[in-house]
Amino acid sequence: MLPLDPGLYIVATPIGNLGDLSPRAADILTRADVIAVEDSRVTAGLLRHIGAKRPMVPYHDHNAEGVRPGLIARMATEAVALVSDAGTPLISDPGYKLVRDARAAGHLVVTIPGPCAAVAALTLAGLPTDRFLFVGFLPSKEKARGEAIAEIAGIRATLVMYESGPRLAACLNALAAGLGDREAAVTREISKKFEEAVTGSLSMLAARYADAPPRGEIVVVVAPPGEAAPASAADGDAALAEALTRLPAGRAASEVAKQLGLDRRTLYARALTMK
């Protein structure tokens, strides 16, 4: 078995079905001198699947700053593979800093592409894919989440985000309030036995999951502005109610008018009543 050239190898791993591991990824993982992993138990299972056993070093949000210098040093003489628990490294994890520092040190950096939950969800959603924005996880706190949604409300692109089952309904309600009742899709368990993609308006999806939080890895995909039906007075009230938790009446009316295409003066009068 020929050794790999020293450097960093970014290896995409399956998001569910182990059969999605590419032959090239399996070869790199088999020959790497060390594998930087999110959770050694998860990666050990993948290595057993391909009949390999390699040294592993934990590398994740909680220890990255301390572990990174040692990994960079090892890249001078060793092949270091980087994996996440599932999917493509660097997508919503701290891997980009390792790539940045490896390049700064003059080391070889190679990517071995493969599964990515965000992109896979786009293919299932039936929404425009010519322009999309991946926003990771929205904040869990209501105010911060509303502010994050307001920042992306006017972007003319399909929005893609990760979410957990217990937070899903609150996330969908906040998206409906901040974006208008756009078309959306909730995808989960991609490539696994119970894979599903449920489509509909944001409010419909929020109602569906209000009392039945789903299990598994979840990706929410939301249509760009203009893909939903024209906003109604009820849409304006819902968006105003959320905006008024963060903003004075005038600014709340301006924000909602811009988001939903409704008359600002009408919204301002309604905001004063709601206040």
Q: Are residue 82 and residue 122 in the same domain, yes or no?
A: no
**Cα gap 11→87, rounded to integer Å:** 9
Same domain, 66 and 103: yes
241 in a domain, yes or no?
Answer: yes
Query: Any idea of the CA torsion for 171, 173, 174, 175, to the nearest 10 degrees?
Result: 80
Residue 128 and residue 63 share a domain: no
- Please check whether residues 173 and 202 belong to one and the same domain: yes
Q: Tell me if 228 is assigned to some domain.
A: no
93 inside domain: yes
Look up the domain containing 246 and give its range: 233-274
> Mean pLDDT across the chain, nearest whole number?
93
Angle ∠(126,127,133) on CA atoms, nearest 5: 135
pLDDT at 231: 63
CA-wise closest residue to 91 among 73, 108, 115: 115
Choosing from 195, 222, 249, the residue where a domain stops is: 222
What is the mean predicted confidence (pLDDT) over 209-224?
Answer: 93
CB atoms within 10 A of CB 216: 15
**The CATH number of the domain where 195 resides is what?**
3.30.950.10
Specify whether 85 is located in the same domain as 131. Answer: no
131 and 110 within one domain: no
Please check whether residues 157 and 105 belong to one and the same domain: no
Residue 217 confidence (pLDDT) above 90: no
Residue-wise pLDDT for 191-213, tens only, equals 999 999 999 999 999 999 998 99
Number of domains composing the chain: 3
pLDDT at position 245 is 87
Structure tokens at 61: 């949000």
Q: Are residues 131 and 205 in the same domain?
A: yes
Asked, for residue 2, whether it belongs to a domain, the answer is no
Which pTM value belongs to this model?
0.78
6-25 tens-digit pLDDT: 999 999 999 999 999 999 99
Mean pLDDT computed over 56-64: 94
Are residue 95 and residue 43 in the same domain, yes or no? yes
Q: Is the pLDDT of residue 262 over 90?
A: no
Report how far residue 275's alpha carbon sits from residue 256's, in angstroms, rounded to the nearest whole number.
15
Same-domain pairing of 19 and 41: yes
